[in-house]
A and B are shown apart, each in its own frame.
Chain A
Amino acid sequence: MTEWFNSLADTFYRCFIEDSRWKWMLEGLGNTMIITVFALMIGIILGIIVAAVRSTYDMNGAAMKKKGGPAYIFLRIGNFICNLFLTVIRGTPVVVQLMIMYFIILINVTNGVLVAIIAFGINSGAYVAEIFRSGIMSIDEGQIEAGRSLGFNYIQTMIFIIIPQAVKVVLPTLFNELIVLIKETSVAGYVGVMDLTKAGDKIRGRTFEAFMPLFAVAAVYLVIVIILTRILRIIEKRLRKSERR
């Protein structure tokens, strides 16, 4: 029993203490968080733009077609581009997109973390767009009619009435996207970025121990996700205060 414990302590020492290997884990965790947070920011901005175009087309396209004019043509082109973007981004694996970004498109950017932020941000944007669109479409049409009849124009109705309600609807799904994104960034190692998974890999490669580094990496991801889930639960509770159920 003590022998087993000693060997465990020895493995722990080799994996994390020797050569200050824990610093790799810390650096990796830092990069994972940086990539996730900034990618989600890009994702949300991109997502709102795409969702706005797509839902406007879905809701008003038919009416505008009758009227015609340049506004309708712009909207149609915008909708086509957004659809193409969604199809391509959602239809290809994120690892492939990341490598295309790193080796082909962003060839002049030497900072791997920045490339990863952009690649994951664009990827996330496609998913966030559909999340937002479903949120906007889920709000009852009567809400728009009510807003318009009170003298708001279309954009005002959107900003003051529809979007606040939509955010509440999409928040759990958006949070889910954040959780998925954190774990997706584990492929950043493909382009030489030292993220949490790569840090574990590096320790594995140096010590030839599989158990300790892999479980440590898994545990760190798990703890982050558990914390985020807790936060989400608190936010949801607060938002539910206004509901009559």
Chain B
Amino acid sequence: MKKTFLSILAALICMTMVFSMTAFAAEAAPVSTVEEGVLNIATNAEFPPYEFKEGDGFAGIDIEIAGAIAEALGLELKVNDVEFGSIIGGVQSGKYDIGIAGMTKTEERLQSVNFSETYAIGVQVIIVKEDSDIQTADDLVGRKIGVQQDTTGDIYCCGDFGDENVTEYRNGAEAVQGLIAGKVDCVVIDNEPAKSYVAATEGLKILDTEYVTEEYAICIAKESEDLLAAINGVIKDLQESGKLQEIVDKYISAGEEAEEEESK
């Protein structure tokens, strides 16, 4: 029994060594990727307008930014649709080159991966039913809150209002369905998808007061420093040329913004 355990252990150690060696070998080439000539991105395509499924493929702000990065680096874009909570793990273990999913840079995530420069500002807002008595974030104390599992909204709410008051759904749309069905009193989620959900559903509104403001960035494995530098360069170029704003405007129409202003 002990012998088998030791031999398994030995095998595991050998495997770890081999893997770490291959990792070193890969680092030598400039902007190396998991698959040669392909930029593998991980995202969770349930987060409009940042990423969502459209026809057979994917669309959204993040997808287009990833496309622009791939183009600038001379790579082919390949989108992998995975669960939000699996993105960092996948990037860390070298399954994907980058994770781009409206992801906020947090201290905890920085322990596992590196983050690029910020490419967009995200705001966590509160969706309620139109006749709800919840007015500000302070009113959430003791209420049932719906969130998308593993998002920053989830982490902040669990911290601020306690695990027992937070119901975690697989994706934002289900959280909103939970709100409509009366399972939760409000949904805390990023501003942009919140607008899409509210626009698509009767009887919901977004509170004027924001819950948290945060910065979106792309996550990259700690080993791929060359890729990080290259991506930061591309983001800078996209910002300077105004292409980034163009992409954002394409999905978040000016008309919607004006309406927002009016209601305020």
- Residues of A whose CB lies within 8 Å of any CB of B are 1, 4, 24, 102-103, 107-108, 110, 112, 189-190, 192, 194, 198, 201-202, 204-210
Contact = CB atoms under 8 A, between A and B. Distances in A.
B109 A208 contact: yes
Interface of B: 13, 16, 84-86, 88-89, 92-93, 108-109, 112-113, 144, 146, 149-150, 154-155, 163, 167-170, 174, 177-178, 181-183
Contacts of B113: 208
A108 B150 contact: no
B183 A201 contact: no
Contacts of B108: 206-207
A107 B182 contact: yes
23 contacts: A4-B16, A24-B163, A102-B181, A103-B178, A107-B181, A107-B182, A110-B182, A112-B183, A189-B168, A189-B170, A192-B167, A201-B85, A202-B168, A204-B85, A204-B89, A205-B84, A205-B149, A205-B150, A208-B88, A208-B89, A208-B92, A208-B113, A209-B89
Given A103-B178, A107-B182, A110-B144, 11 more contacts: A108-B182, A110-B182, A112-B167, A192-B146, A192-B169, A198-B168, A202-B149, A206-B150, A210-B86, A210-B89, A210-B93
Name the residue among A108, A112, A202, A208 with the largest chain B CB count within 10 angstroms: A208
Given A204-B85, A209-B89, A103 B181 contact: yes
A95 to B, nearest CB: 11
Contacts of B16: 4
Contacts, number: 57
Contacts of A24: 163
Nearest to B144: A110
A206 B88 CA distance: 10
A102 B86 CA distance: 25
Interface of A, helix, strand, loop or mixed by DSSP: helix
Contact of B85 (A4, A110, A112, A205): A205
A198 B149 CA distance: 10
A208 B93 CA distance: 10
Nearest to B87: A208
Contacts of A190: 170, 174
B255 to A, nearest CB: 31
A79 to B, nearest CB: 35
A192 B88 contact: no
B149 A102 contact: no
Contacts of A102: 181, 183
Contact of A208 (B112, B181, B182): B112
A23 to B, nearest CB: 8
Contacts of A110: 144, 182-183
B209 to A, nearest CB: 25
A110 B185 CA distance: 10
A192 B182 contact: no
B95 to A, nearest CB: 10
